[in-house]
Every structure is written in C-alpha cells, then in structure tokens.
Amino acid sequence: MKGGGYTGLYEELRSRYGRFVYYDYKLENSVLTYHFGIESENVSDRYDFYPTWTFPFDLDKLDFDRDQADEMIFSLGMAELVSYWKCCCPQKVQIRCGSLSDWQKNWWKKLYFNGLGEFFYRNGINADFDDFMTIDAPDAAPKKRYSPTLSGSLVPVGGGKDSVVTLELLKKAGEDITPFMINSRKAILGCIEAAEIPLEKAVCFRRTIDKTLLELNKKGFLNGHTPFSAVTAFSSVLCGCFLNKKYSVLSNESSANESYVDGKNVNHQYSKSTEFERDFREYCKTFGGCTEYFSLLRPLSEWQIAKEFVKYPQYFPVFQSCNLGGKTDIWCCECAKCLYVYILLAAFLDDTELVKIFGCNMLEKTELSDMFDGLVLDGEDKPFECVGTKNEVRLSLCMAAEKRKGALSPLLKRFKESFTDYKPVDLNGYFDRENFVPDKFLPYVEAAAK
C-alpha cells in the first residue's frame, strides 16, 4: 500500500495536543499499571491511558534485584508509550516518573522514529527525526551493572515456525528452557506441548491495552504499526530479571533487516532487526539488564528456518502465525502472512500436507495476486507483515514448481510467466556473521544452516 494523505490530520492533532506525559507506574499484587496522558491547552480536552501487565507469580516470594527490576519496569513503560503517543503525535514527550541521560533520549528517539517508519509512510506523514519529537526528562547517570547468579534460557514463544526452531535447537544443546508468552493462546500452548516442555514451566505475562486508545482509533485519530518487538524485548528481560535467567533467546532472522519499500528506510520489522538487537543489548549493558538478549536464528534466512522447521511434523497441527486469525487460532488464508508461510513451506511439503495445515491450497487463490506480486516483484512494496526477502520467496516458488512438475496452480504459473529462465539465489549454507549468538549455541545454528 502506498502512503496515504494524513499529513493535515497529523499537523492538526500535534497542534491541538502539545504534550504527551508518562506520569507514573505502580506495581501492586503482581499487577503493573502505567499512567500515560495526552494534554492540550484546554484542560478538559485531554486523555488518560492506564495499560496493565499482570505477572503470574508472587513477586514478594522471588529473590531478584529490585533496583534492576524497577529500571526494566520503567523502560518497559517507555516501550509501551509510543502506542499511545501515535494517536495524535504530540511534539513534546515529558517523563515525570524517571530519569534519562542524553544518550537514552537519543536511543528512544531512534527506536520510535525507525519503528514508526511504516506508520509514517502509510499515513503519508513526512516526519523528520530532529522535529518529530522531543523528550523532556531529568538527567540520569549510567546505572550500575548487576551480577546475580544466572542460569537457563527464557524463550519468547509466539506460536509460529521460528520460535519452534529455536526451541528445537536449544533442546539439542541441552539447554534449560523456560517458555515465555505475552497473552497466551492455543497455538503457543500447542507448540510448547509439542516441544515436550511441561506447561507448568511456561511463564505468561498478561498485557492489556487501554480501551480509551481503541475508542480514539474509532473516532479517526491516527493509527498504525508500532515497534511491538521492543515491548517483547523489555518484557522478556524483565521476566529474566524476576527469574534470574541467563539468556532471553529470540527467534529473529537475518531477513528481518530488509526495507519494505524500494529506496526508503521503511521496515515493518525494525524492532526485529540486527540494528535494534545491537542497540538493545547496549542499552541493557549500560542501564541495568543482567539477562542477555540475543536472537538464536539471526545467522539464518527465513528459507533456512522453514527448511529446518519441516523436520518436526509434530508441530504441523498446532503452529499458527496468522495475525488476522490469531484470536481464533486459525489460518485466515486471506492475508499476506498466510500466503508467505504457505509459499515457504511449499518448497518442502506437497499440497496435500499443506491443505491439512491451512485448510486450502493458497497458490490457487488468484484473488491474492496483488499480495503475491508484492512478495515477488521488484519495485512493488512488500506486504506490511513479518515476511522475508523476495529472493527467499522466489527460491521457494522455484522449488515448489519443480516439486509439482507440470501441475502448476495459478499463482505458480503467474510466477513462472514473470520469471522465465530465472536462476534463484542458493541459500544453502548461508550464514550471517553479524550476530550475537553465544559460542556454546553456534554449532547447532551452523548445522541448521547447511
């Protein structure tokens, strides 16, 4: 989708609501409540937001560093606030419940600006890094580093193929795994059970969105994509702090680094990128996180992850990564994410197996031709979903066509007609050396790369 025409609304709302405030946060009986607000010169024209997080354990009975946890709780609020800020994009953000150094202010501005790249693009907003936001907060000095005794890996599980591969590689490494969820659902629980990890080992943080934000969205205030994976990052490190875990192990791959729009820095997956991972690790190192955050799958392409995933058919009936069907744990078979995952798996599985998983043959759905072209063709915006590179999709389609010989479905025919005599990039053995995988895990990732 090309950018829209909301620049006038953007300027109108910024003029009307001059300040966004991070007022406070409160932790009572394992329920964390944030207080954000949007203020205008008219005191009656303001909005307050109270999102919550609920932790599944009695914090008073856990042995952890309270100062470190408080730093992560405050920072989790900084990651949350951009979802509320974006509805009217006030120029000034005021922090009243914590302090930030100049380095931190620049760090947060970089995350917000790049993480909102899709939001700005799709709303037709020409935002400038220097002017889109200023952050006002008391000055802070770097925090002391903490050295508690740490062990084991916390693994955020989303219910899709990527976290499944992470679980299986860590199992091969003999690692003690604690699955981590933000708002449990059937697919996540199914994947944990298929991994033969007892559900009682899993930890679920329950997150709620303030309904006032949803009401403003209905009224026509600005809306769009935010860097949610940064929320996952801070919440997982917070959980690691509570439980004294050595690692928070993500499942983000090298393909997440690619822009979605030719010639522009617009990345739907910015907070899954190597750049964000590096920045986040530096943030925790400087300002108090003891649990080490890294992505185990960073060296791999999405195609390689799919190749590894199909080795574990016990997950086929339970995994699910469709955002539209997420609440009901179905593949909607109408969105670009479903189409993309179908294409990747079609390189390795026949349509009989795929129809068991998805409920239909997605390569027969000609009504998805525009989405298909966005996944495949140069010069077309990639669909704004968590999808890999066009080279990976083309390789998968070439393999799918070869696997099916002459019996090609309409979308496979469309591809073959557009790419006559196409020689795909060979991704066997691909390994991105720009990664932060600890040495103890590298042999298992290298084996999956072959």
- Residue 2: the pLDDT is 39
Q: Is residue 192 part of a domain?
A: no
Regarding whether 260 and 348 lie in a shared domain, the answer is no
In the predicted structure, residue 319 carries a pLDDT above the cut 50? yes
Q: Which two tokens stand for residue 364?
A: 């027969």
Domain C-terminal end among 289, 310, 335: 289
Kindly state whether residues 226 and 348 are assigned to the same domain: no
Same domain, 233 and 285: yes
Mean pLDDT, to the nearest integer, of 212-220? 96
Look at residue 35 and give its three-state secondary structure: strand
- Average pLDDT on 309-334 reads 92
Q: What is the pLDDT of residues 123-140, one digit of tens each?
A: 999 999 999 999 999 998
Q: What is the pLDDT of residues 411-446, one digit of tens each?
A: 999 999 989 889 999 999 999 999 999 999 999 999
Residues 251 and 384 in one domain: no
Distance CA 434, CA 77 (A): 29
Is the model's pLDDT at 346 over the cut of 50? yes
Cα separation, 238 vs 138, whole angstroms: 23
CB-CB contact of 400 with 410 (8 Å): no
Q: How far apart are CA 56 and CA 246, in angstroms?
A: 20
Give the model's pLDDT for residue 97: 96
Give yes or no for residue 192 having a pLDDT over 50: yes
How confident is the model at residue 265, as a pLDDT? 83
DSSP, residue by residue, 230-254: HHHHHHHHHHHHHHT-SEEEE---G
Co-location of 319 and 254 in the same domain:
no
Kindly tell me if the per-residue pLDDT of 373 is higher than 90. Answer: yes
Establish how many alpha carbons lie within 13 A of residue 241's alpha carbon, considering only the half-sphere containing its beta carbon.
24
Give yes or no for residue 221 having a pLDDT over 70. Answer: yes
Does 289 score more than 80 pLDDT? no
Specify the pLDDT at position 3. 40
pLDDT higher than 70, residue 107: yes
On whether both 284 and 412 belong to a single domain, the answer is: no
pLDDT of residue 4: 44
**Domain stop point among 266, 289, 312:** 289
**One domain, residues 11 and 86:** yes
Confidence band, pLDDT 50/70/90 cuts, at residue 263: confident
Same domain, yes or no: 218 and 305 = no
Range of the domain at 364: 301-430
Per-residue pLDDT, averaged over 190-215, amounts to: 98
Please indicate, yes or no, if residue 129 is contained in any of the structural domains: yes
Evaluate whether residue 164 is within a structural domain.
no
Residue 331: pLDDT band (50, 70, 90) is: very high
Inside any domain, residue 266: yes
For residues 245-272, give the mean pLDDT. 90
Instruction: Determine the length of the chain.
Output: 450
| Same domain as 114, residue 223 | yes
- Of the residues 289, 310, 345, which one is the last residue of a structural domain? 289
Q: How confident is the model at residue 328 (pLDDT cuts 50, 70, 90)?
A: confident
**What are 242-257's pLDDT values in tens digits?**
999 999 999 999 988 8
Is pLDDT at 214 greater than 60 in this prediction? yes
State the pLDDT at residue 1. 31
Regarding whether 419 and 306 lie in a shared domain, the answer is yes
| Mean of pLDDT over the chain | 93
Q: Tell me what percent of the residues of the chain surpass a pLDDT of 90.
A: 83
Residue with tokens 């000609």: 366
3-state secondary structure of 193: helix
Confirm whether 174 is domain-assigned.
no
In a domain, 58, yes or no: yes
Domain assignment present for residue 197? The answer is no
For residues 123 and 292, what is the distance between their CA atoms, to the nearest angstrom? 36
Task: Give the number of C-alpha atoms closer than 13 A to the C-alpha of residue 362, restricted to the C-beta side.
Answer: 27
Q: Are 278 and 313 part of one and the same domain?
A: no
Give me the number of domains the chain comprises: 2
Do 360 and 270 share a domain, yes or no?
no
In a domain, 24, yes or no: yes
* Structure confidence at residue 325 as a pLDDT band (50, 70, 90): confident
